[in-house]
Amino acid sequence: MKLGVFSVLSVLGLLAIGVAFPWTKTMLIIGLCYGLSALGVAIPARSGQVSFGHAMFACVAAYAVAFLARAFPLMDGVVLIVLATLVGTLFATVLGSFVVRYRGIFFGMLNLAVSMVIVALLGKLYELSGGTDGIRVPRPVFWGLVTERSEFETMLLFMSCGIALMAGWFYQRFTQSATGQALGGLKSNETRLEYLGISAHHILWVGYAWSGFFVSLAGAIFALAQGLVTPDMGAWTRSGELVFIMILGGSSHALGPFVGAAVFQAVKLFASAYMAGVWQMLLGFTLLAVIALAPEGIMGAWQTYRNRSGKGAQP
């Protein structure tokens, strides 16, 4: 079965689960947000640059939702998501113009450093940000409709699923495009890129901006789903989780980060239910197992298996 078809069927399955078991809706939306964010983290990772601060874009977009909702209480939720995503993307674009000059550990740590500054500012500027308690986001009008919590979650779930599908489609197209392939080329040989007349900085900057777009979009949806934004959304532990999910699922196909997010959420749920005291240990062992047995992640292992069995990886 083609992975694209499998992706569509998976999304339909998620919708069915959400409708059949309403208590899962928030969990599913949050899982999709994690997948979408990890998809964003996977873009610069294709060039060998791993960011340990990307959750800051989700945080910036989430606070943009909160500030906009506070300033314009009648603003539609869809408009909030669009505007907050633009704010997060703009921030990523500006920050990207600086951080793409660095490589490897410096790239990762610079992102981490900026995210820590943002988290600290949001925690300290109590009058503006509500401090570590954060800001409550009231349920907005959505698609022009005043909704109850359950209807709102259903609509948000449908929207998140649609966005996840479009994001996956874009990721696949982008990574196969000339820009995406050049981004992959940056990982193995930046010198050759320059001697082909391609600016490595520009290529990484484009990837970084798209990456920020996906994480910001996820942050904006997350803010509405959770109804509360806190500085913790941008904490380095959250950024680490996104990298964890990306490695777990693999970045060779857009489905990877979403599979990673599903496994991450499942392990976290299982661990917190049955091994509450040592849930991080279980996550750690899961990641160790993936790195040892399937370094390309779950999707990478799946595609390798398909190639070896002669079925071939299909887009």
Partner 1 sequence: MSQALLRASDVCLAFGGVVAADHIDFELHEGERLAVIGQNGAGKTTFINICTGYLQPTAGRIVFNGQDITGKTPRSIVKLGMGRSFQLPQLFSEHSVQQCLEIAAAARGGRLSWLTSLSDSVDQKEIVETLELIGLRQAGHELAGELPEGHKKLLDVAMALMLHPKLIIMDEPTSGVSSQDKHGLMALVMQALDERKVTSWFVEHDVDIVSRYATRVAAWIDGKIAADGDPQSVLSHPKVREEILGVAAC
At closest approach, how far in Å is the CB of 180 from partner 1? 8
At closest approach, how far in Å is the CB of 61 from partner 1? 22
Distance CA 259, CA 34 (A): 10
At closest approach, how far in Å is the CB of 303 from partner 1? 15
Which spans of this chain sit near partner 1 (rule: CB under 8 A)?
170, 173-174, 176-182, 184-185, 187-189, 191-192, 194-199, 203, 206
At closest approach, how far in Å is the CB of 48 from partner 1? 10
CA distance readout (Å), 138 to 96, 144, 221: 32, 15, 13
Q: What letter represents residue 210's amino acid?
A: W
At closest approach, how far in Å is the CB of 135 from partner 1? 35
Q: Report yes or no: 229 and 87 within 8 Å, Cβ to Cβ.
A: no
Pick between residue 232 and residue 296 the one whose CB is nearest to partner 1.
Answer: 296
* Residues contacting 140, CB < 8 A, separation 6+: 69, 73, 75, 76, 77, 80, 224
CB neighbour burial string for 112-126, b if at least 16 within 10 angstroms, e if fewer: bebbbebbeebbeee
Pick between residue 2 and residue 70 the one whose CB is nearest to partner 1.
Answer: 2
Pick between residue 199 and residue 280 the one whose CB is nearest to partner 1.
Answer: 199
Pick between residue 132 and residue 314 the one whose CB is nearest to partner 1.
Answer: 314
Distance CA 101, CA 96 (A): 9
Pick between residue 142 and residue 174 the one whose CB is nearest to partner 1.
Answer: 174
